């Protein structure tokens, strides 16, 4: 199976494309072990270094999984689907549903923090103010897509410390309690950042992987700040329509 050495596309990317095609057409099914580096090298007439680069890239994308001493396998997510967000105030759960995916959420940390933690971010905050801090991983069909870290004024949101937030939409929780959904999310800062060790651990990705970082104020029905959030979104699993 000869690759196009005259192509502008690097050989490792051509190998990646062939493996992806095999997953999409059913040649490799979920949980299947793919050929070894030696076998792939012989199949495509390329060096093992080229094959290793292709496999590592696909592992980084979550398409393949390496098992120590056993080989490399197709993950349960055969083809990653990009999630398109068409509105900055669309909840993650709504976004998943629009894309035909099942939303999920897992609480990583929940605490009460002082205002000095976010005084430079949140409007009108003093060090004496307290906030409910919630850190959750959001998933689509079980695949980690986003890490959200949210800060809620304690006096208004103390109830979140005891609320079951596993696989729950915070927008729906807020609507159930207050009778409205979060409104405008302006201003929102969108930038590219790299996954730190703790973020990579929570999202099951490699350290240094590119992420979208969205820093947002969400307002209530009166236009007052409701909560402040940082979202870290896996870049190759998400697309944002602006």
* pLDDT at residue 80, rounded to an integer: 47
* pLDDT at residue 75, rounded to an integer: 79
Is the pLDDT score of 101 beyond 70?
yes
* pLDDT at residue 79, rounded to an integer: 40
Phi/psi-derived region of residue 71, left when phi > 0, alpha when psi is between -120 and 50, beta in every other case: left
CA distance 4 to 10: 9
Q: Are strands 225-234 and 143-153 parallel, antiparallel or unpaired?
A: antiparallel
pLDDT digits (tens, 9 = 90+) for 78-89: 444 555 655 556
- Are the beta carbons of 60 and 54 closer than 8 angstroms? no
Q: Which residue has the higher pLDDT, 26 or 1?
A: 26
The DSSP code sequence of 47-110 is -HHHHHHHHHHHHHTTSEEEETTTEEEE-S-SSPPPEEE--TT--HHHHHHHTT--EEEEEEEE
pLDDT digits (tens, 9 = 90+) for 136-157: 999 988 888 999 999 998 999 9
The DSSP code sequence of the chain is ----TTSSS-HHHHHHHHHHHHHHTTSS-TTPBPPPHHHHHHHHT--HHHHHHHHHHHHHTTSEEEETTTEEEE-S-SSPPPEEE--TT--HHHHHHHTT--EEEEEEEEEEEEGGGTTTTSTT--TT-EEEEEEEEEEETTEEEEEEEEEEEHHHHGGGGTS--TT--HHHHHHHHHSS------SEEEEEEE--HHHHHHHT--TT-EEEEEEEEEE-TTS-EEEEEEEEEEGGGEEE--
* pLDDT at residue 125, rounded to an integer: 78
Cis peptide bond N-terminal to 232, omega within 30? no
pLDDT band at residue 38 under the 50/70/90 scheme: very high
- Are the beta carbons of 192 and 211 closer than 8 angstroms? yes
* pLDDT at residue 237, rounded to an integer: 79
CA distance 159 to 105: 18
* pLDDT at residue 18, rounded to an integer: 92
CA distance 182 to 30: 39
Is the pLDDT score of 225 beyond 80?
no
Residue with tokens 């000869």: 2
**The whole model's pTM is what?**
0.67
pLDDT digits (tens, 9 = 90+) for 167-196: 999 889 988 998 887 776 666 788 899 989
- Are the beta carbons of 14 and 3 closer than 8 angstroms? yes
């Amino acid at each position: 199976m000869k690759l196009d050495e005259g192509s502008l596309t690097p050989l490792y990317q051509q190998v990646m494309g062939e493996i992806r095609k095999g997953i999409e057409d059913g040649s490799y099914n979920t949980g299947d072990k793919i050929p070894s580096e030696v076998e792939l090298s012989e199949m495509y007439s390329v060096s093992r270094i080229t094959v290793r680069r292709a496999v590592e890239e696909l592992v980084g994308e979550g398409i393949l999984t390496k098992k120590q001493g056993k080989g490399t396998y197709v993950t349960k997510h055969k083809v990653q689907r990009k999630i398109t967000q068409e509105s900055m105030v669309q909840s993650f759960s709504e976004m998943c549903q629009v894309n035909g995916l099942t939303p999920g959420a897992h609480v990583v940390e929940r605490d009460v923090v002082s205002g000095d933690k976010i005084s430079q971010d949140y409007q009108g905050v003093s060090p004496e103010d307290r906030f409910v801090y919630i850190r959750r991983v959001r998933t689509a069909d079980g695949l980690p897509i986003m890490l959200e870290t949210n800060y809620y004024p304690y006096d208004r949101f103390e109830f979140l410390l005891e609320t079951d937030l596993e696989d729950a939409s915070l927008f729906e929780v807020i609507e159930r309690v207050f009778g409205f959904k979060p409104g405008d999310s302006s201003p929102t800062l969108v930038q590219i950042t790299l996954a730190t060790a703790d973020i990579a651990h929570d999202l099951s990705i490699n350290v240094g992987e590119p992420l979208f970082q969205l820093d947002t104020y969400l307002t209530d029905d009166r236009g007052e700040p409701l909560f402040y959030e940082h979202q870290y979104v896996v870049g190759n699993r998400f697309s944002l329509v602006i």
